[in-house]
Amino acid sequence: MPSSIASSPRILGVAVPTPLRKLFDYRPCHPGPASGWQPGLRVRVPLGRREVVGIVIECRDTTDFEFSALKPVTACLDSEPLPADWLWLCHFTARYYQHALGDTLQQALPVLLRQGRPLEARTRERWRLTAAGRDADAAQLGRARRQAALLELLRQHPRGVIGSVISAQGFNRPQLKGLAEKGLAECHEEPLTGSPIPPGGNLLAEPALVLNREQTTALAELHQELDHYQACLLQGVTGSGKTEVYLQLIEAVIAKGRQALMLVPEIGLTPQTLARFRRRFRVPVVALHSGLTDAERLDAWEAARAGRAPIIIGTRSAVFTPLARPGIIVIDEEHDNSFKQQEGLRYHARDLAIARAHRDDIPVVLGSATPSLESLVQARSGHYRHLHLTRRTSHHAPARLELIDLRGRPTQGGLIPPSIDAIGSALDGGGQVLVFINRRGFAPTLACHACGWLAECHHCDARMTLHRQPPRLICHHCERQERLPEICPECASVDLRPLGTGTERSEESLTALFPKVPVYRIDRDSTRRKDAFEHTLNEVRRGEPCLLIGTQMLAKGHHLPHVTLVVVVNADAGLYASDFRALEHSAQLLIQVAGRAGRAERPGRVLVQTLHPDDPHLRLLAESGYDALAETLLEERRIAALPPYRYMALLRFESPRESDAASLAGAAAGALRTWLGQRDLAVNCLGPAPAPMERRQNRYHMHLMLSAAKRSALHVATAFIIDWLERSSEARRVRWSIDIDPQTLS
Ligand code: ADP
Ligand code: ZN
Ligand code: ZN
């Protein structure tokens, strides 16, 4: 990419927020930025009838357009370019995912910067005494008694007191001004977020734990990798103390004056995780998550860029946080699906983190109890260093999965009698019980027992879920809602019954079965209110016997020390799914759920109900554990030529008209096959075929799958087909997108 740095170029190639994969040429404005024109400066530019914020990518002297027809940039918004590491990552992302650079830059930028706000942090006032103030005697302030009190307050805090604290103590501005005018106190502005790492000082607010043998070994090995790029897979069973290893490793990184970026799954950035880090460190721990306001997000981004944020913890998009002095990237629960963005720019934060670490020559630590097959392959081939924590710090071995045959047994709330008995004894023994059921709502659907009618969504190829709180049929794919029918719309029978079990139904049955203990349901519906989830978890952590019914919201990341029994209502969803990753993902989920049992003093039990107790994969997982299953799955993937042994790209087409989507997908496949036929490029093209759920929200979805043994070959072929689609006139009527390394085929 020609991006010469010329201070007075004739042409600026600007990336603007559009899905078009090209730069727009403009003439510079006068006067330009004081430091000259460079890539990375934000500019305001005319685009059609709008004005947008773009980013200068190229400074050059030539253009393919008529020079005089080019419009000038309206204004330059920055005095210095956006951070170079950030810009590099955006270029890399756009190239790797074959996404428009303009849109990539937008997505990677805090909203306020997208809108053209200056890149500066909000500040606050800090007041402290001057030398004269420190020597002053309160008596010399005479009748100004409040000023004297203020003087005393400031005297107690040699490092100063922030303005809001002073007003909270009942002082006002005239009193502060009074001291300042007498030369006794002074004020300076400091950024609201972050502070520099104190050199040589004690970084810890609370002592680190004494590591056990395995942790010590892992940490020692990780220490050896601190000064260069190395990916390390820290595989440790739930509760084996991975987080403690991260904490001590990060301590070593910030002791060198470097910054640590830790990515956690969406569900994992809990107040407890943050609290644990903030308790440990004396330095600021800056969080980046969806709950922040735009201004807070900009503050955090700016603090990281300026180096005032020694530790940054965030979810997926935090991978785009610039770092002044990068030291390490940690990815907790690296197998988690929330690291992959499933729409628009479909990036995987783990993969970008690895690319970024490589460029910055720093280590990246991937932690998981159940690593992705992608990472396991890298560890086996020696590209990643593989470290193990096999024991729980509580000394209880992780509970084994006990498979329970569901066939032909009566169920109540999805549970068969032996499971209900086990719940009763666990509660009698003073334990807590977690019932895992990955369906929210009352029942997966409503059925007519007279004619077999099922409640289907009119906009999707899917059934509508029955909800009781409030009573409604809801499509979980398009959110469409309907009133509950009183009679069957097909045969007018009144014999309509719920089919299957969701969390609400389990809650109802278990409340009736165990009236003496509290029953808490945790799913997206029950936790819609902010803090509801935290509130319930706090109740649960008090340790009284109770029943928890939850979806995967409960399965991940939460420390529930009093749970002694976990019951999985149905383990079968992933066993025979068409998606080749389904089995891997459901094994990971099962192990995560099982990991909730027996985290503290008590050992745990995990009952897994299934209609397929003889399924070889399920048995392998139950009898030999995740590693053994992963081994088998890898072998199956190798034989079937699937990732991680092959690279994939998925083209998705969607349109309100079935024929439009099918016709474009067919034409694209034809063009691609012809093109491939003319060159020696080992790329497979599969399809087009209807998506597993063909109709969603009244739109028809078609897929075209490309795969190759070499990433470079796949890249060339996808570049060709994107170019072809961008030129195709038919493509204007059909929405299409490309997904590099797709995580799901839906
Ligand atoms: P993981 O991240 O692997 O699930 P954690 O780091 O959260 O594990 O550790 C699980 C529990 O064990 C936590 O309560 C933690 O405080 C405790 N723990 C971790 N390491 C040690 C240790 N070396 N000694 C004592 N307790 C530890
Ligand atoms: Zn009917
Ligand atoms: Zn629907």
DSSP symbols for 43-67: EEEEETTEEEEEEEEEEES--SS-G
- pLDDT of amino acid 557: 64
Residue ranges with CB less than 5 Å from ion ligand 3: 457, 459-460, 475, 477-478, 480
- For every residue of 123-192, DSSP letters joined together read EEEEEEE-HHHHH--GGGGTT-HHHHHHHHHHHH-TT-EEHHHHHHTT--HHHHHHHHHTTSEEEEEEES
Atom nearest to 240 CA in ligand 1: 3
**375 in the same domain as 300:** yes
Distance 590 CA to ligand 3 centre (A): 28
Which residues face 649 on adjacent strands? 706, 740
Rounded CA-CA distance 108/321 in Å is: 8
**326-332/363-368 β-pairing:** parallel
Residue of the CA atom closest to atom 6 of ligand 1:
241
For 221-380, where are the E strands, in sequence order? 230-236, 259-263, 285-288, 311-314, 326-332, 363-368
622-665 per-position pLDDT tens digit: 999 999 999 999 999 999 999 999 999 999 999 999 999 999 99
Question: For residue 265, what pLDDT band results from cuts at 50, 70 and 90?
Answer: very high
Q: Both 516 and 589 in a single domain?
A: yes
346 plus 439 within the same structural domain: no
Is the residue at 488 inside a domain?
A: no
- Going by alpha carbons, the residue nearest to atom 20 of ligand 1 is 241
Question: What ligand 1 atom has the least distance to the C-alpha of 394?
Answer: 12
Question: What is the residue with the minimal CA distance to atom 9 of ligand 1?
Answer: 241
pLDDT at position 555, please? 75
Q: For residue 458, how far is its CA from the centre of ligand 3 (angstroms)? A: 7
In one-letter notation, the amino acid at residue 655 is S
**Which of 194-203, 249-258, 556-565 is the least confident region?**
194-203
**Ligand 1 atom at minimum distance from 215 CA:** 23
User: What is the model's pLDDT at position 675?
Assistant: 97
Pick the ligand that lies closest to the CA of residue 245: 1
Mean pLDDT of 347-370: 98
Separation of alpha carbons 643 and 424, rounded Å: 44
Q: Tell me if 570 sits within 8 A of 403, measured CB to CB.
A: no
Going from the Cα of 209 to the center of ligand 1, the distance in angstroms, rounded, reads: 9
Query: What number is the average pLDDT over the span 301-305?
Result: 96
The ligand 1 atom at the shortest distance from the C-alpha of residue 247 is 6
The runs of H, that is alpha helices, within 185-332 are: 213-223, 242-255, 271-280, 294-306
Single out the residue in 80, 114, 148 at which a domain terminates. 114
Question: How high is the pLDDT of residue 494?
Answer: 95
In-domain check, residue 551? yes
What's the CA gap between 327 and 257, in Å, rounded?
Answer: 8
Measure the CA–CA gap between 177 and 266, rounded to whole angstroms. Answer: 46
Output the pLDDT for position 3.
Answer: 45
Where does a domain end: 191, 224, 249? Answer: 191
CA-closest residue to ligand 1 atom 23? 211
Q: How far is the CA of 557 from the centre of ligand 1 (A)?
A: 13
Dist. CA 543 → ligand 1 center (Å): 19
Ligand 1 atom 8: residue of nearest CA: 241
656 and 549 share one domain: no
Is residue 489 included in any domain, yes or no? no
| Span between the terminal Cα atoms of the chain, in Å | 35
- The answer to the question of residue 449 being in a domain is no
Ligand number with the minimum distance to the CA of 459: 3
* 173-193 average pLDDT score: 89
Q: Is 405 helix (H, G, I), strand (E, B) or coil?
A: strand
* Same domain for 407 and 518: yes
Q: Do both 223 and 351 map to the same domain? A: yes
Q: How far is CA 332 from CA 16, 367, 481, in A?
A: 34, 5, 37
pLDDT digits (tens, 9 = 90+) for 579-633: 899 999 999 999 988 888 766 666 689 999 999 999 999 999 999 999 999 999 9
pLDDT of residue 600: 61
Give the whole-angstrom CA distance, residue 99 versus residue 343: 12
- Rounded to whole angstroms, what are the CA distances from 350 to 19, 290, 339, 633? 24, 18, 7, 21
Give residue 315's domain range: 213-389
Which numbered ligand comes closest to the C-alpha of 482? 3
Report, as an integer, the average pLDDT of 345-366. Answer: 98
Report the b/e string of 80-111 with b at 16+ CB within 10 A.
Answer: ebbbebbbebbbbbbebbbbbbbbbbbbbbbe
Ligand 1: nearest atom to the Cα of 276: 16
pLDDT band with cut points at 50, 70 and 90 for residue 4:
very low
User: Nearest residue CA, atom 27 of ligand 1?
Assistant: 393
**Domain end point (choices 636, 666, 701):** 636
Cα(415) to centroid(ligand 2), Å: 27
Ligand 1 centroid to Cα of residue 243, in Å, is 7
pLDDT computed for residue 560 by the predictor? 83
The rounded Å distance from CA 28 to ligand 2 centre is 70
Ligand 1: distance of its center to the CA of 244 in Å? 6
The reply to whether 541 and 627 lie within a common domain is yes
Kindly report the pTM of this predicted structure.
0.92
Query: Which of 233, 269, 393 for mutating ligand 1's site (highest number of atoms within 8 Å of CB)?
Result: 393
Smallest-distance ligand from the CA of 234: 1
Residue nearest to atom 22 of ligand 1 (CA): 211
- Report the pLDDT averaged over residues 717-722: 97
Beta-carbon contacts of 704 under 8 Å, excluding residues fewer than 6 positions away, are 650, 651, 653, 665, 668, 669, 672, 685, 686, 687, 688, 689
Could you tell me the distance, in angstroms and rounded to a whole number, from the CA of residue 359 to the centre of ligand 1? Answer: 32
Of 181-195, 452-466, 669-683, the range with the lowest mean pLDDT is 181-195
Report helix, strand and coil shares of the chain as percent, to nearest 5: 35, 25, 40
Ligand nearest to the CA of 262: 1
426 lies in a domain? Answer: yes
Number of domains making up the chain? 5
Please compute the mean of the pLDDT values over residues 138-152 and round it to a whole number: 83
Length of the chain, please? 746
Question: Are residues 91 and 132 located together in one domain of the fold?
Answer: no
Find out whether 687 and 669 touch, Cβ atoms under 8 Å: yes
Q: Which atom of ligand 1 is nearest to the CA of 237?
A: 3
Which stretch of 104-108, 311-315, 571-575, 705-709 has the lowest confidence by average pLDDT?
Answer: 571-575
Same domain (yes/no): 656, 608: no
% of the chain at pLDDT higher than 70: 97
Alpha carbon distance 473, 464 (integer Å)? 6
Distance 718 CA to ligand 3 centre (A): 31
CA 96/CA 111 separation, integer angstroms: 23
Phi, psi of 568 (to 5 degrees): -95, 115
Predicted confidence (pLDDT) per residue in 471-503, tens digit: 999 999 999 999 999 999 999 999 999 998 999
For residue 268, pLDDT over 80 is answered with no
Q: Which listed ligand is nearest to 238 at the C-alpha? A: 1
> What confidence category does residue 6 fall into, taking pLDDT thresholds of 50, 70 and 90?
very low
Q: Residue 598: inside a domain, yes or no?
A: yes
Residues 620 and 652 placed together within one structural domain of the fold: no
**Centre of ligand 3 from the C-alpha of residue 479, in Å:** 6
pLDDT score for 330? 98
Looking at the domain assignment, is residue 256 inside a domain?
yes
Q: Which two tokens stand for residue 138?
A: 């309160």
In this predicted structure, the answer to whether residue 336 has a pLDDT above a threshold of 90 is yes
Nearest ligand (C-alpha, residue 485): 2
Residue 498 CA to ligand 1 center (angstroms) comes to 43
Given a cut of 60, is residue 2 above it in pLDDT? Answer: no
- Name the band, by pLDDT with cuts 50, 70 and 90, for residue 535: confident
Q: What are the pocket residues of ligand 1 if the criterion is a CB atom closer than 6 Å to any ligand atom?
A: 209-212, 215, 236, 238-244, 393
Q: What is the CATH number of the domain that holds 547?
A: 3.40.50.300
Which atom belonging to ligand 1 lies closest to the Cα atom of 595?
4
Cβ atoms 475, 465 nearer than 8 A: yes
Transcribe 611-656 into DSSP letters.
S-TT-HHHHHHHHH-HHHHHHHHHHHHHHTT-TTSSEEEEEEEEES
Residue type (1 letter), 728: S
pLDDT, mean of residues 266-276 = 83
Residue nearest to ligand 1 atom 4, measured at CA: 239
Q: How confident is the model at residue 696 (pLDDT cuts 50, 70, 90)?
A: very high
- CA 240-242-247 angle, 5° bins: 135
Among 6-10, 97-101, 295-299, the least confident range: 6-10
Q: Which ligand is nearest to the CA of 464?
A: 3
Ligand number, closest to the Cα atom of 237 = 1
Which pLDDT does position 731 carry in this prediction?
82
Does one domain contain both 407 and 537?
yes
Q: Could you tell me if residue 394 is inside a domain?
A: no
Output the six-digit token pair for 701: 């979805």
Question: Which of 243, 262, 563 for a ligand 1 pocket mutation test, highest count of atoms within 8 Å of Cβ?
Answer: 243
Nearest-10 Cα torsion for 71, 77, 80, 83: -100
Q: If you average pLDDT over every residue of the chain, what do you get?
A: 92
φ, ψ for residue 93, nearest 5 deg: -60, -45
Closest CA to 222 of 211, 237, 206: 211
Do residues 355 and 419 share a domain? no
Rounded Cα gap, residues 473 and 465, in angstroms: 5
Could you tell me the distance, in angstroms and rounded to a whole number, from the CA of residue 457 to the centre of ligand 2? 16
pLDDT, residue 469, reads 86
**Ligand 3 centroid to residue 374 C-alpha, Å:** 33
Least confident range of 36-50, 78-92, 185-199, 558-572? 185-199
CA atoms within 13 A on the CB side of 30: 3
Instruction: Give the mean pLDDT of 442-454.
Output: 94
Contact 558, 239 (CB under 8 A): no
Could you tell which of 244, 274, 370, 541 is best to mutate to test the pocket of ligand 1, judged by most ligand atoms within 8 Å of the CB?
Answer: 244
Beta bridge partners of 481: 474
Q: How remote is the C-alpha of 686 from its chain's centroid?
A: 30
Instruction: Measure 487 CA to ligand 2 centroid, in angstroms.
Output: 8
Structure tokens at 300: 């955090």
| pLDDT of 1 | 42
Per-residue confidence (pLDDT) for residue 143, from 0 to 100? 76
* Pair 424, 514: CB distance under 8 Å: yes
Query: Between 152 and 635, where is the model more confident?
Result: 635
143, two tokens: 């009748």
Query: What is the residue with the minimal CA distance to atom 18 of ligand 1?
Result: 241
Q: Which atom of ligand 1 is nearest to the CA of 332?
A: 2
